[in-house]
Amino acid sequence: MSLINNLKEREQFQVWRKRHRIRLIDVSEYCGCCVSTLSQFENSQTNLSDKLLAKYIEFINQFEKGKITR
């Protein structure tokens, strides 16, 4: 768990997503954006708008509450 705390925020998204076997396409459909946008974000190639970042966080929260399934 301490490894995740040392990662950049965007890397934590990627680790969380992979740990839960969530595909980028699933997140992008929920957020209403391109897969490439999220991929570039997770790989430190671009930043997300505040609105898009909020949607990604909302996806995670909804998934963890069991409202979104794989």
Query: Using one digit for the tens of pLDDT, what is the confidence trace for 17-70?
Result: 999 999 999 999 999 999 999 999 998 899 999 999 999 999 999 999 998 876
Domains of the chain, each with CATH number or no CATH: 7-64 (1.10.260.40)
Cβ atoms of 68 and 56 within 8 Å: the answer is no
Q: Look at residue 35 in the predicted model and tell me its pLDDT.
A: 98
Contact 15, 4 (CB under 8 A): yes
Amino acid at 49: S
Structure tokens at 26: 């699933």
Whether residue 2 has pLDDT greater than 90: no
pLDDT exceeds cutoff 60 at 13: yes
Rounded to two decimals, the pTM is: 0.85
